[in-house]
Amino acid sequence: MSTKKRSRTVPPPVVDAAEASSLFIAASATGKKKNRKRVEVKLAADADIVLAKCRELKEKLRRKKREAATTGTPSDDDSNAIPKDIVEVDELSTTEVLEGIEGVALQITRQVLQKKGFSMEIPSRASSNQIYLKDRDRLVLGGKRVGRSFLNVRESRKSAITLRVMQLLHAVLVKRIHITKRDLFYTDVKLFVDQAESDGVLDDVATMIGCTRSNLHVVASDKGLVVGRIQFEEDGDFIDCTKMGVGGKAIPPYIDKIENIRSDAEFILLVEKEAAYMRMAEDRFYNKYPCIVITAKGQPDVASRMFLSRITNELQIPVLGLVDSDPYGLKILSVYMSGSKNMSYDSASLTTPNIMWLGLRPTDLDKYDLPDQCRLDMTENDIKTGKELLNEEFIQKNPKWMKEIENMIKTKKKAEIQALSSFGFQYITEEYLPRKLREGDWI
């Protein structure tokens, strides 16, 4: 008769918290030894030659800034130079925003007690109230205002939404927390119906209070990415964007929590497409030629625009734009430079003037002998958009940009940044960009 051994369950060893912590650290250290060693990418041997013209541009921009400060040339910091018939918001503290909301609530309460219903006066964000300031090279909101009355049948629902949004914002600000625009929408779906309704009212409240949208503690989801020679503290945490993995660091929506920005970069490379950004990040282009690489993955979000504006002002280094050779690439650059109509009331903190167009430009298609199969035919809509750009004031002030667009419309050809991969996957980082920088080929 065979005897079957009974399996015996061994209880796990009892480990206290201190021992568990030491075991975790030891395991982590062991794990690190097994990981593949990071390949160090050093400064390129020809860096001084390649970056010579970029350094000249950097000094030129800094000299211009110093001259503007000494001669009293109007700047965004000079409030006396801002026309009085436009609406510009300011950075306000949480307490100041709360006081603003409570002030509006008090006015409404008085109107209701007088049995007059209630109405609000709000700056108009209509297209007809958008003004382009040539001396500042950006869009701003005009001084026209519109009324919003609860007793008006057509305006009663919008009035109710405005009050509800203000109520929710007040609760968020009191708790000193942040929420997303989507969070705000889901707090009262039945009233808002569509997120576009709550988003629009959010901007109305910002203009009414006179603060930036970020001051309301409502943010959009992360979209932008940054990698390269920049360090900063984010809500007390030290961030080094050369050591954030291949993909870099997500640009945080809480730009107000970023401080102590430091960098030894010579320029900022603003990239339209994430694919091109990832090529530069993986090749660690920013170590070969010290720079900061940023992308918003297409149409820029508020956080990416605010982050770019902030670091450009603090570091005072040039921004070079790398976008597709089509009208939409230029439209993206225009949003970074001159702002958008939706956020024109906050253009002072969202715009970055003097961005240089590095590539991919229409004339590059012949200069770099781009294969015919990589040159795409422009659609009728593309051509129409290109012609509309020729009428934009921010384009007309730069004759070289005008010539490039005219060339694009004449040839009826466009191309994506990725078309450069037809010469090799790393052609953009090993040949195209170094040559562009060495020649100072930007406009």
Most distant CA atoms of the chain, gap in Å:
107
Element (H, E) at 130: strand 130-133
**Nearest Cα residue to 141 out of 159, 155, 153, 127:** 127
Q: Is 182 left (phi over 0), alpha (psi -120 to 50) or beta?
A: alpha
SS3 at position 343: coil
How many whole angstroms separate alpha carbon 333 and alpha carbon 324?
Answer: 10
Q: Which residues contact 401 (CB under 8 A, 6 or more apart)?
A: 330, 357, 395, 443
The contacts of residue 94 (CB under 8 Å, 6+ apart) are 173, 176, 215, 217
Which residues are registered as beta bridge partners of 377? 413
Answer yes or no: are the C-beta atoms of 306 and 343 closer than 8 Å. no
CA–CA separation, 354 and 349 (whole Å) = 15
- Cβ proximity of 354 and 401 under 8 Å: no
**Cα 255 to Cα 253: distance, rounded to the nearest angstrom:** 6
Tokens of 219: 């943010």
In whole angstroms, what is the distance from residue 34 CA to residue 352 CA?
A: 44
Q: 384 with 351: CB under 8 angstroms?
A: no
8 Å CB contact between 263 and 325:
no
Give catalytic residues, as residue numbers: 186
d(CA 265, CA 43): 12
φ, ψ dihedrals at 362, nearest 5°:
-50, -40
Buried b / exposed e across 106-120, counting CB within 10 Å, b at 16+? eebeebeeeeeebbb
